Structure 1
Amino acid sequence: MKKIYTFSQQTKPNEWRIVNDGVMGGISNSSIQLIDNKYGQFSGHVSLENNGGFASIQLDISQPVEEKKHIVLRVKGDGKTYEFRLKGFSDQPESYVHSFNTTGEWENIKLPINQFYPQFRGRRLNLSNFNFKTIEQLSFLIANKQEEDFTLLIDWIALE
C-alpha cells in the first residue's frame, strides 16, 4: 500500500478546494480543517434550497496509478454515505465516482479503481470506467438528496 495523502501537522488544509452547490445557486456550506494535528475534518450542512444538494472538497494531485487496483480510505464518518471521486486529467468535465458508507467508527474503506464510473452533474455517462494511468484530482462529496449536517474525519488516502 502506498499512501498518497496523509493529514498531519504539516498538512495545509487550504490545499483542498471547497466546491459546494453555490456554483449552481445552492446554499450548502462546508469546510476542511486540521483536527488534533492529525485528521482532516470535512464538515458542514447540505441544503436542498435553490436547487442545491451537495458539498465537496477537491485536491489537485499528480499520482501515477501504475499497477494499483484499489483506493483505500482511512476515515471515520457519521453513518452517512459519501462519494470519493477521481479525475485522470484535472480539466476533464466528468468525475469518476465510487460511493461508500460510513459506520461512525474508524475504518479502512477499499474501493476498486476499475469500478469508478463516469458522472457529470449527477448523471452517469456512457463512457468506460476509470482507466487512466494517473490521478490528477481527487475529491470527497456528499449528496444524499436530503438536508443534513455532516462530518467526515479523514486520516489518509492510499493506493493498493
Structure 2
Amino acid sequence: MKYPLYRFDTPAAVVPWQAIDDRVMGGVSASHMRHDPAGHGVFAGEVSLENNGGFASVRALAEVPETAVGALACLLEVRGDGRRYKFNLRTDGGFDGIAHQASFQPPAGEWAVVRLPLEGFVATWRGRPASAEPPTAVQIKQIGLLIADRQAGPFRLDVRVIALGD
C-alpha cells in the first residue's frame, strides 16, 4: 500500500467519517463507520427501500500526498459480506456534486486487497450518470464507501486500509 489515506488500526481513524444515508431524501436507511478492537474499521448498518430510499454511505476528507501524483489505482484492504459496494471519489470539498464511483464485491468472510483503477471510475451526480473525466490521484479531496445494491437488510464491510498505488 504505497500511499495510505486511512489505516483503521486506531479508534481515531474513524472520527473523520460521516454517514450520509438516504435520509437526506426521506429514506430510512442508516449506517456508520466504527472502529473494531481487532484493529480495523467497520462500515455497517441497514439498507431500507422504504420511502424511495435504498442507499447508505460514509465519507471523509482525503489528504493525498503530492508524491502520489503517479498513482493509478485505489487499493482497499477489505473483508466483505457477499454484497456489492461502491468506492466514491470527489474532487472538491463540497457536500453535493459529482462523485466518481467504482463498484466492487469483496469475498465474503475473508480479507482481500481490491484494486480499483482510477481510469475505471464513472462520474455520477446523485446516483445518475454525469459527464466528467476520471480524477487523477492528486485531484482527490474526499473518499467514501456506499452500498446501493437494491437489497434491503443489514450490511457490514470491514476495512483495514484505503490507499493509492499502482
What range is the shorter-chain TM-score in?
A: over 0.9
Contact 2:72 2:137 in 1 (8 A): no
Q: Percent identity?
A: 33
Deviation, 1:66, is 0.2
Structure 1 CA distance for aligned equivalents of residues 11 and 27 of structure 2: 33
Deviation, 1:132, is 6.2
- Measured on the aligned residues, the alpha-carbon RMSD in Å equals 1.5
TM-score, normalised to structure 1, is: 0.94
- Match in the other structure for 2:160: 155
Structure 2 CA distance for aligned equivalents of residues 133 and 33 of structure 1: 27
Moved over 6 A (4+): none
Amino acid at match of 1:103: P
Please list every run of 5 or more consecutive structure 2 residues that lacks an aligned counterpart in the other structure: none
Structure 1 CA distance for aligned equivalents of residues 57 and 139 of structure 2: 21
More strand by share: 1
Q: Note closer, same or farther for the CA distance 1:12–1:131 as it changes in structure 2 (3 Å cut).
A: closer
| Count of matched residue positions in the alignment of Structure 1 and Structure 2 | 160
Q: For 1:141, which of 124, 130, 146 is the aligned residue?
A: 146
Say if 2:40 is the partner of 1:46.
Answer: no
Amino acid at match of 1:121: R
Amino acid at match of 1:4: L
Q: Within 5 A, what are the aligned runs for 1:78-157?
A: 78-91=81-94, 93-104=97-108, 105-131=110-136, 133-157=138-162
Structure 2 CA distance for aligned equivalents of residues 56 and 25 of structure 1: 15
TM-score, normalised to structure 2, is: 0.90
